[in-house]
Structure 1
Amino acid sequence: MSALLEVTGLEVAYGHIEAVKGIDFKLKEGEITSLVGANGAGKSTTLLALSGLIKKAKGSIKFEGEEVGGLAPHQVVQRGLVQVAEGRATLTTMSVRENLELGAYTRKDRGNIKADLDRVLQRFPRLAERLDQFAGNLSGGEQQMLAIGRALMARPRLLLLDEPSMGLAPIIVQDIFRTLKEINAEGLTIFLVEQNVRQALKIAQHGYVLENGKIVLDDTGRNLLGNPRVLEAYLGG
């Protein structure tokens, strides 16, 4: 399988503080890849750099062989890299429908948007029931579904997810991860940043462990789940 995204020597700094310290990784087309690690390891910073929301200090970010590291966020979305932000970032005073339609704002194929909206609502029936409600009136789980649905409206080639399980009840987390597996089975490549290490590695074909801004382990999701270092540091022994 070819690498859809290839990152080489990525460095990101906040002033004098180096948050990401020269990391290399690849995302294979059609796979779920998980980036796991403790809070503050640099996971979210890595995603923000891929999305163009913060500027990299050094390194290369190639998507389908094209350098995208210097592009503006809307240009990154147009190329097919779409991020679901940490904390969901739904627009609370807009309706569910308006949030979903906003996901398609960079698209030129306006005629296909209605069909895509119908598909998203089939995938998330609870959103269909609440289509004209304010997004701020949804539960946390429903807002996460809305955030994923909005990202799907952009027709991504690569879906970037930042902590999708954060603040959600365990049963809702199971629903979200099952949905991600279904979306991936339909062919969408997913890059998942998660503190819920067990869940993230369970659904991932490949995983990377990030510690203090550096990748310290790189293996299949299954092998990382059984790795003594991962077990001790993240899975309670």
Structure 2
Amino acid sequence: MTAAATPLLQVNGLKVSYGHIEAVKGIDFELHEGQITTLVGANGAGKSTTLLALSGLTKKAAGSVRFAGEDIGALAPHKIVSRGVVQVAEGRATLTTLTVRENLELGAYTRKDRGSRARDLDYVYSLFPRLKERADGLAGNLSGGEQQMLAIGRALMAKPRLLLLDEPSMGLAPIIVQDIFRTLREINKAGLTIFLVEQNVRQALKIADRGYVLETGKIVMADSGRALLGNPKVQDAYLGG
């Protein structure tokens, strides 16, 4: 897919610190509309912290974050969501005492047009038929894979322009991981821009238009997903040679 001339999201000099520990050390990267971009690296590299900073859930120490030409770096999280940047948190964070349908409807809480919300609910059910089957059941009774589907579906109900995903494959059986990544490709083909943070480097790079490799808070490589997948350094460090 051809990249747009102007990035949809542009990050410059992003730093995030926890006390005296600098978790993200002045990184630069950009996301282009209609693409899947992935940020990969070992556990503790700073991947999730980067996403939290983009969402406004963690305060950045320095740097700028521009989305669709607007500086969103100082906005509150709900304002960032209203701009069209929506995150699927690590660990799913479904509301277990609510039904599947209620969880999905909560994703659209900022939207007033009931007709479009109903159409998007049908769209989510078409992506994840299992959620439709379990719509009136409690989210807490879903399997891990179903809860991940629910978390993605709930984010889609917010009508994002950019979807941020934090470790969607974590703790899931390989066959479920394949299903999740297949769905991500499908929603991307429908036009949604995706930024994927993922420890499953092989799966992430397979579907990515572009990838960045993060090591101890610094971006050390950037290239197309295909090129990084074939890079000997990436293979040695993350793909078992």
Moved over 4 A (4+): none
Residue deviations 1:38-81 (CA, integer Å, cap 9, x gap): 00000000000000001101000000010001111110100000
1:49 aligned partner: 53
1:77 aligned partner: 81
TM-score between both structures, scaled by the size of structure 2: 0.97
In the TM superposition, what is the alpha-carbon distance from 1:112 to its structure 2 partner?
Answer: 1.5
The answer (yes or no) to whether the contact 1:94–1:134 under 8 Å persists in 2 is yes
Between 1:35-44 and 1:112-121, the stretch displaced more is 112-121
Aligned positions of 1:132-211 closer than 5 A: 132-211=136-215
In the TM superposition, what is the alpha-carbon distance from 1:214 to its structure 2 partner?
Answer: 0.2
SS at 2:195's partner residue? Answer: strand
1:87 aligned partner: 91
1:118 aligned partner: 122
Unaligned residue ranges in structure 2 (runs of 5+):
none
The answer (yes or no) to whether the contact 1:78–1:107 under 8 Å persists in 2 is no
In the TM superposition, what is the alpha-carbon distance from 1:228 to its structure 2 partner?
Answer: 1.0
Give 2:191's aligned amino acid. Answer: G
**Separation in 1 of the partners of 2:82 and 2:113?**
12
Give 1:154's aligned amino acid. Answer: A
Aligned length: 237
CA RMSD across the alignment: 0.6
Out of 56, 59, 67, the residue aligned to residue 63 of structure 1 is: 67
Give 2:71's aligned amino acid. Answer: E
Unaligned residue ranges in structure 1 (runs of 5+):
none
2:106 aligned partner: 102
- Between the two proteins, what is the percent identity of the paired residues? 78
In the TM superposition, what is the alpha-carbon distance from 1:108 to its structure 2 partner?
Answer: 3.0
2:231 aligned partner: 227
SS at 2:8's partner residue? Answer: strand
